[in-house]
Structure 1
Amino acid sequence: MRFDVLTLFPEMFSGMFTTSILGKAQEKGIVSLNAINFREFSGNKHHTVDDYPYGGGGGMVLKAEPIFNAVEHVVAAARAEAGEREPRAPRVVLMCPQGETYTQRKAEEFAKEDHIILVCGHYEGYDERIREHLVTDEISIGDYVLTGGEIAACAIVDSVTRLLPGALGNELSSVTDSYSTGLLEHPHYTRPAEFRGWKVPDVLISGHHVNVDAWRREQSLYRTWRRRPDLLERAELNDKERKLIERWKEEEKEKETK
């Protein structure tokens, strides 16, 4: 997979892209990560990429021309690298607080692509023609506003790369992560079996894998019910699990009445 991040601050990605999982994934040739300063595509001698908004108002707006030019440049570069093979059109993703809230499902969708271009904004906003005629997706990583889109872009690159085959040392890690199953992940324990009087649940050291799997599923379900009940609306649950949740609800009501 190829990632091209269009940003005014490419130096922000130097550490992120060269260490840990992302660095190893690049070394293995699993992913190509590029941070490109779209100021280089401004089309004017002063390298200006923003201007005052029509109609007045506070703040500056990113111009359409530098973003369009930069996207067209990286698309052409990708086609040149592909040679005779005709590459699929890239996803052009705008980092924007107005966009669709980013989820693990979206990461899994992006992981099926060959080429993703991430556009990081600054200032007051984007020229609307960028949204209307260039991007394929608008993504927000939460209901808050950042100084720019770089942190959000890093989150997307990291979450998608770890889903690619060979990126993680243990291929099961991404499959069992929180949200990948639709539920939060179950609790984890490691040695020693007892620490300051707190013991690891007996089932985990029993060696009975069926019972371990059942315990982990129930714990995952319980943790999701307690912390993120909204996720249960979309989770695939069987009748036994639904009855279990109803039992927990009844027990909770009984505690409240005491």
Structure 2
Amino acid sequence: MEENLKANIRIACVGDIHVQETDQGKWHQFFKEASSAADILMLCGDLTDTGHLVEAEILAEELKGCSIPVVAVLGNHDYERGEQRQIKKILEHAKVHVLDGESVVIENIGFAGVKGFGGGFDRYMLSMFGEKMFKNFVEEAVDESLKLDRALSHLESNYGDIPKIVVLHYAPIKATIAGEPLEIFPFMGSSRLVEPINRRQVVAAFHGHAHAGTLEGQTSAGVKVFNVAKPILHRAGLPGYYIFEISNNNMQENNLQETNQA
């Protein structure tokens, strides 16, 4: 365990910021305010609007207003043009920890992240049966779940019993996508992601993607899950991000509203 740890670590969480080519100067103050409110910033996918490299470059420039560590995963919008690897490199050059089956430890908190994928939930989850295209769809969700499990296992093996946070874009449970049309539930996330979250004793999981979903839910094992897509935070009256606080002695979350929404 690290010495001289802060008594409480605040994580500012937001997804689906959808940075556009015309956003020069739009986000600098937002990131500056998040840096004042928190110790770590977490971005839950759809960082760019259409997956253009110029959008990632603008985001990297805007992040110069951020003075705290940044942890992120990419979302489906970041994959739109097939340039996700270049987007990842651009953001990593801006000192963002972009996780895709990897983990990172900051302030003695372990972060494990993957984009995730669709496939549906609970007894309506798609099975690997039928045409090859359906099998490929399910296999993608399985692979993302395995990548998440490996990242969490790495944290357990190398850092012991530190708090673990999961960063996703797609939802691991259906409770936090409630509000979306039922017809698109299979494309909002997959229950396959929840198995490693439950088994690896995760403190909490965060995702975005479902703009019309619900802020908070929990897994069958009682792990809290938060949908921090920016439109949801707007509707909840939050300042553009959700503050999750971890104490050295216990875990708690607070919805802080001292700063203005960008």
- Give the TM-score, by structure 1 length: 0.30
Bigger relative contact order, structure 1 or 2, given CA contacts below 8 A and separation 6+? 2
TM-score (norm 2): 0.30
Q: Which has the higher helix share?
A: 1
